[in-house]
Chains A and B, each alone.
Chain A
Amino acid sequence: MRTRQTLIEIFSSFLQFEGDRFKSWHRDPRLQRHMERCCQASTVKLATDEVQGERYWALHWHQQWSSQFQAGSQPKSQNQSQSTSLSQTIARDHLLAYLQETCYWAAYKVSARFSSTQYGLYDCFQLAIAQFEKVLTGFDAQQGFDLKNYAGATFRSFIRDHLRQRREVDICTDWSLLRKVSQKRLHLALQNQGLSDREIASYILAWQAYKLVYVPAQETGSRQLAAPDLSTWEAISAQYNRERHCLSAPANTLIAKQAETWMVAAAKAVRSYLYPSAVSMNATRPGQDAGEFIDSFTDDDQVSPLGELMAEEAYSLRQQQYTQLGDILAATVAQLEPDAQKLIALYYGDTLTQKAIADQLGIKQYAISRQLTRIKKTLLLALAQWSEKTLHIPPASDLLNHSGLNHSGLNHSGLNHSGAALEAWLTNYYGSKI
């Protein structure tokens, strides 16, 4: 793959595939123009530095993107909120362009290790890039980690999770799949089929009856359930009829045949909703069909000198923090037991899989991952203490968010994403390239 050369290119072009291979960088003229204007207008020296500029702009756009959420609770006039959302959209798109390469390498790394005829590099790329918003939401610039590293670790984790799930779903018969779907997912799948709320409620009640009646009768083999027989369908519909008075809207009596039809449809809906054949997510990127946006730019969308000044200060502070944090973590690593040091060096440095390390050391992969987890915990503790002391972020702030004391829709700040961020730092520290 040809790497992108200029800052303008890095923040305004998108990957084009040919089959499973890199074809070219497609420039988005709107983003390109915007990026050019911002670079020209910028008084920050860093902003035009080819090496440092990349990080600067990444943080800048992320800040721009997230600023709306921080101010989200304040009342705004219609007009203002519209312009904020426009600048937010642009910031988002610049970052989407920026992370193309990271996503490509994440997809490359995972797909190379995962032998599947179904999932190639391209599919993995699509899977990951579809989760791009979650990367932005999860990333916390305050912690001083690098967006690219964070995104890489997160993309890899998304792809792996998806492939694992997908493989399980593929093994399951429809009858097993129905027992292995969450109610939430089933609900979404039925909604996706265009069913009304009332119909969905009936289907779900029938599905609950199905799960209650049609149960594996053996210790294993829960993925290979055969079609239920007639008497089972009768028991399912009887259970439904006993409980249908609980539905908020009156429902008709269900007969066995109909119960079967519903469950067949539900399984189909789940299968197609769970794992749709890859759609081109990259195609949703703006530019081609959003002509009105291109022309709606005004100079207001450019960074004002004052805003930039603050950004520069913030940037150098971040850089400082990042260096400090690296020192802390490196020092903590140096204090680990020799065995532990060897293990993480093996894992992060030589990019061996956990399975390969396990084979090499003659232990189970579970044990490897647990030892690695324990090491990471030590590092995380050092990190938490550091951030409490230096950044005055109480380590528990995010846990408290989750415990509902201070719940916000966004997972900003705190420790919750430190795990992935630390993973990113380690990957970088041990110099594994991809």
Chain B
Amino acid sequence: MTSTASPFDLDIDLNRVYLEIDPALRAAAWSQSQHLATPASRWRAYLNQISLQTVQPWLTEAIASRAMPMLAMPLLPTIWEWVDGVGVDLTFEKGSERWVLLPTEAIDEDELRVPQEWIDIPSWVGDYYLQVRVNVDDGWVKIAGLATHRALKINGYLDSSDRTYSLPASDLITDINLISLSQTLLPAASKRASLAESPLSLARSMALSQAQQLITRLSNPELLNPRLAVDFASWSALMAHGGWRRQMTEQRWGRPAAFSVGQWLQSGITQIAAQIGWQSVSFQPAAEGARGEEASMATTGFLRTVEILEENRIENYVLQISLLEGDMPNAWRFELRKLNGLVAQGVVLRLLSEDLQPFENNEVTAREPVDLLYVDVALAPGEGIVWAIEPVPAQYEPEILRFDPLS
């Protein structure tokens, strides 16, 4: 009977990679996708999560020493609500690369189609793009072919009607062996074509008021294909800005804002914020200021660890925010220190307004190894703050923290 036949009655060509989908993983992917806004986005999240969680272990087994999705798992649905694909950041002995996984159900495997976002948003760009054939019914995933950013950008065809770049199967690399070899053999060949704009400049081009308007319009779940409902420049600015994208996603899902520090103070950290590493902390005020009665007053704050790559070594840093006691209401301190040791020279802690604008005294740089870096900021009601660190931490994207005054 054909329906019980497996593709593996026939030998697998050894230069192809087939991976088995763990049924438990598939079931989890299904239930986790159910809160997305439309049937299409639920199915998209389902396929993307299966593709990621099946391919990721193989990447660490066969290709790289470490493979991490570009964002923490719980944040990925904020991409899949809008568009297909996920970037995976790989670490090699020498250097690192991003591979973008693009699930497809097409039996014919005739082409690799890549949404424009993955090619033209600078902070999303990958080195390789993998066509991942997902067969949920038979329970396997196949790496059908791959191409570099350069090949897609230069030789690919940009279809303006659905904003995708595509390359025919004949232009794809199908022998996966070559790719893993290329890591040892290829002299840092340029796999990326150049892009005109940098991520921040893209988003900066949009004013806060315009962003808010678009977010309200595009988050309407009646709109089945929002990515085509506005010009690409505006759309990509919204997608690239993690804070705006999360806000737009929350509105589409009808959920309250998850990154409101004011709310965290009142009712505890939201689940999603906790999942990506935020935790509350009680601590004594800093030692030098600790005299007399003040020392007994515990302050509440929040912290999360961030991973920063120093000389190809992953180092853990702690980003901490705490309410400043004093004359100014709603004043906060952002503080960065290394978990073990000193903050390395050249590390920058920077705060930006919600639309990624700098302001006076918004950043501090370690001129030499120091204990900690901090920036204080006083906020107007409803104002949001984006933190940034250089070098860019793993799984970073702009995140808007709101500090609504306590009632």
Contact = CB atoms under 8 A, between A and B. Distances in A.
A184 B168 contact: yes
Nearest to A239: B224
B12 A171 contact: no
Contact of A377 (B9, B11, B181): B181
Tell which of A157, A165, A417 has the most Cβ of chain B within 10 Å.
A157
B18 A170 contact: no
Contact of A181 (B14, B107, B155): B107
Given A381-B184, A396-B185, A404-B150, A208 B106 contact: no
Given A243-B225, A416-B175, A184 B185 contact: no
B139 to A, nearest CB: 8
B137 to A, nearest CB: 5
Contacts of B30: 219
B245 interface: no
Contact of B14 (A376, A403, A407): A376
Contacts of B40: 211-213, 215
Interface residues of B, number: 70
B151 A113 contact: no
A369 to B, nearest CB: 4
B191 interface: yes
A208 B168 CA distance: 19
Interface stretch (B19-27, B91-99, B278-286): B19-27
Contacts of B109: 165, 182
Contacts of B150: 403-405
Contacts of A27: none
Given A217-B39, A219-B27, A404-B150, A170 B182 contact: no
B371 interface: no
B14 A183 contact: no
B403 to A, nearest CB: 39
Interface stretch (A40-48, A89-97, A220-228, A331-339): A220-228
A23 interface: no
B107 A180 contact: yes
A15 to B, nearest CB: 23
Contacts of A407: 151, 154-155, 171
A398 to B, nearest CB: 8
Interface stretch (A2-10, A320-328, A418-426): A418-426
A395 B17 contact: no
A243 B190 CA distance: 38
Contact of B224 (A185, A212, A418): A212
Contacts of A396: 182, 185-187, 189
B10 A402 contact: no
Contacts of A419: 14-15, 175, 177-178
B173 A402 contact: yes
Contacts of B155: 404, 407
Contacts of A380: 177-178, 181
B328 interface: no
Interface string A391-434: 00001101110111101000000011111100100000000000
Contacts of B224: 212-213, 239
Contacts of B65: none
> A-side binding surface: helix, strand, loop or mixed?
helix
B185 A160 contact: no
B108 A215 contact: no
Interface residues of A, number: 77
B368 interface: no
B32 to A, nearest CB: 12
B228 interface: yes
A170 B182 CA distance: 38
A374 interface: yes
A63 B25 CA distance: 51
Nearest to A385: B185
Contact of A376 (B2, B20, B39, B177): B177
B181 A395 contact: yes
B3 to A, nearest CB: 6
A180 B103 CA distance: 12
A219 B184 contact: no
Contact of B136 (A157, A165, A220): A220
A182 B10 contact: no
Given A404-B193, A419-B175, A167 B19 contact: no
Contact of A179 (B18, B20, B105, B181): B105
A431 B17 CA distance: 26
A416 B178 contact: yes
B113 A183 contact: yes
B8 A354 contact: yes
Interface in A24-53: none
B196 interface: no
Interface in B108-154: 108-111, 113, 135-137, 140, 147-148, 150-151, 153-154
B322 interface: no
Interface in A191-237: 201, 204-205, 208, 211-213, 215-217, 219-223
A399 B186 contact: yes
Contacts of B12: 354, 365, 369
A419 B155 CA distance: 24
A342 B40 CA distance: 48
Given A222-B105, A223-B137, A354-B12, A164 B7 contact: yes
Interface string A157-180: 100110111011111100001011
B222 to A, nearest CB: 10
A382 B295 CA distance: 67
Contacts of B225: 212, 239, 243
B177 A181 contact: no
Nearest to B146: A402
The 3 closest A-B pairs by CB, nearest first: A419-B15, A182-B106, A419-B175
11 contacts: A183-B162, A184-B111, A222-B105, A353-B10, A364-B20, A381-B181, A384-B181, A399-B173, A399-B189, A403-B147, A403-B150
Given A181-B108, A208-B162, A212-B40, 4 more contacts: A181-B106, A380-B181, A395-B185, A416-B178
Interface of A: 110, 113-115, 157, 160-161, 163-165, 167-172, 177, 179-185, 201, 204-205, 208, 211-213, 215-217, 219-223, 239, 243, 246-247, 274, 353-355, 364-366, 369-370, 372-374, 376-377, 380-381, 384, 395-396, 398-400, 402-405, 407, 415-420, 423
